[in-house]
Amino acid sequence: MAQTPPVLGEVSPTFLMQNPDDTLDIFCEATANPEPTLTWLKNYKELKETERITISGNRVQIRRLKAEDGGMYTCNFKNSVGQVSHGMKIVVNDGGISVPGGNVYINKAPANVTENEGSRAKMQCEADGYPRNITYHWFKDRQSVQEIHGLMARAAIYADGSLVISSVIKEDSGLYSCRPSNGLGPPPEASAYLNITCECLLS
């Protein structure tokens, strides 16, 4: 059987709001060959078991939730071919009326893209958070694509976060950054390069 990198299956939602003293159960599933190893992280550090936290393979249970249990939980599957991760933002409401804002995080960062001159280029960016009224902003070399002469008329930002540029030209090459925001707190940012090539015929 051919070796394959991990591919996510069923996973917990990317955002969960819980109350103090609740019991939280989160899980991740992935398939791969060879069988991947799974590491659980909290705020990008390895998650450890405690008297309230139980790690059972692809599941984590946290009992008697406290505010300090809130944060970014990540399951990371890895084998000799590749790896894949899934992030889950956990917010523990301290009993007040409101939930802390500004909890926007990027689920799918843009990847480097190479296209031929004259074609259509698409760069993807997906985010989640609370509140979920997320708007996406794209920048080229730190300048808004909607303010760049010669580009703004050909660039469109869609509700799913993707940036589409029609009839690309060589000058469109550069570093593009996605910045999702719900208007609360500093927005996260992820970047990738767009490279435009020219299939020119030599005379």
Question: Could you report the per-residue pLDDT of 40-70, keeping only the tens digit for each?
Answer: 999 888 999 999 999 999 999 999 999 889 8
Q: Are residues 111 and 188 in the same domain?
A: yes
184 in a domain, yes or no?
Answer: yes
Quote the number of domains for the chain: 2
**SS3 of 110-174:** CCCEEEECCCCEEECCEEEEECCCCEEEEEECCEEHHHCCCCCCCEEECCCCCEEECCCCHHHCE
Segment 123-131 mean pLDDT: 83
Segment 130-151 mean pLDDT: 90
Q: Are residues 131 and 170 in the same domain?
A: yes
From residue 11, give the alpha-carbon distance in Å to each of 3, 4, 162.
23, 19, 23
100 in a domain, yes or no?
Answer: no
pLDDT of residue 112: 87
Q: What is the pLDDT of residues 160-186, one digit of tens each?
A: 999 999 999 999 999 998 989 888 777
Q: Are residues 142 and 178 in the same domain?
A: yes
Q: Are residues 79 and 26 in the same domain?
A: yes
56 in a domain, yes or no?
Answer: yes
Q: What is the pLDDT of residues 7-37, one digit of tens each?
A: 888 888 888 888 889 999 999 999 989 999 9
Q: Are residues 126 and 67 in the same domain?
A: no
Q: Are residues 21 and 79 in the same domain?
A: yes
Peptide bond just before 6 cis, omega within 30 deg: no
Q: Are residues 176 and 110 in the same domain?
A: yes
Dist. CA 163–CA 177, nearest whole Å? 10
Segment 194-202 mean pLDDT: 77
CATH number of the domain that 184 lies in? 2.60.40.10
Domain that holds residue 89: 4-95
Q: Are residues 13 and 83 in the same domain?
A: yes
Q: Are residues 114 and 193 in the same domain?
A: yes
Is residue 203 scored above 50 in pLDDT? no
User: pTM score > 0.85 for this model?
Assistant: no
129 in a domain, yes or no?
Answer: yes
Chosen domain end from 45, 63, 95: 95
pLDDT of residue 97: 33
The residue with greater pLDDT, 107 or 196, is: 196
